[in-house]
A and B are shown apart, each in its own frame.
Chain A
């Protein structure tokens, strides 16, 4: 098999544990949006066009409330603002790629694909085919998201809630993050990010996450500077 397909399949494989956490969320999104009275086509189209779970959930809820569409658009944009950090983080690795590749990978740049892709870039050291790995991870997540939305639409209200699914995503992220905590500066960034996120949870539109990220990065830089 050509190395590019090997990298692609490796990306798909690395994404599978995350998909286990994402599929229930997609189903819940489909079911919830249906219950809120949105048309099935619109619900599925949001998964393709927006492709960002948290903001889709918020948009679905706001559609029913009479909030002006302009305000809904702004809210969704603010919720997705954290993706700018991912964009900056992967950008150096994508510099050499053609525009079509950069557009494709930007479209696939979700929380869950980013987590796998950035680990791949840091650990695989295969610059020639790492973008295929990213593409595999992103594609797997994309496919699962479309499919789980559709399942949510099909099973509708027949499905009950399963509390254990609440923590699936957090546990998966732990499984990805913890093995990458190798030096004091990175650990400092993680601990700070976690603490600030909890303390700043009162901020609207997930802005607490942005604040947490910025303070965490600052602490990481500070600790690194001290050591050097």
Chain B
């Protein structure tokens, strides 16, 4: 199987995964528990991605690092400013100072 065919199949599968529930929901009534659970998807998934990016170094847990400090400051700035750019800038500055 060529590399081209491989990436086309991966592309189709990826699209299928992204389209899956969007296609299903059009036709069916969704149980209440699922609807309530979906409210927590952004928080759970985004927090999981953030934590894996900041607290892991080559799959090893590292809780005291410039990355974690930058993340901590960024959380505080984000909490008070509710804006992305100041959060990004504050995190960058802390990271650069500690590196």
Contact = CB atoms under 8 A, between A and B. Distances in A.
Among B5, B74, B79, which residue has the most Cβ atoms of chain A within 10 A? B74
Interface in A67-84: 69-70, 72-73, 76-77, 80-84
Interface string A91-109: 1101100000011011101
Contacts of A155: none
B52 A201 contact: yes
Secondary structure class of chain B's binding surface, majority of residues: helix
A89 B15 contact: no
Secondary structure class of chain A's binding surface, majority of residues: helix
A6 B1 CA distance: 46
B45 A167 contact: no
B10 A84 contact: no
Contacts of B40: 185-186, 189, 216-217, 220-221
Nearest to B46: A177
B46 A220 contact: no
Interface in B20-62: 20-26, 30, 33-56, 59, 61
B7 A42 contact: yes
Given A89-B42, A105-B22, A20 B88 contact: yes
A169 B49 CA distance: 9
Contacts of A144: none
A213 B74 CA distance: 22
Interface string A127-162: 000000000000000000000000000000000000
Contacts of B6: 59, 69, 72-73
Given A171-B87, A173-B46, A186 B39 contact: yes
Interface residues of A, number: 92
B48 A181 contact: no
Contacts of A77: 10, 13-14, 17
Interface of A: 17-18, 20-21, 38, 42, 45-46, 49-52, 55, 59, 63, 69-70, 72-73, 76-77, 80-92, 94-95, 102-103, 105-107, 109, 111, 114-115, 118-119, 163-164, 166-181, 185-187, 189-199, 201-202, 208-209, 212-217, 220-221, 224
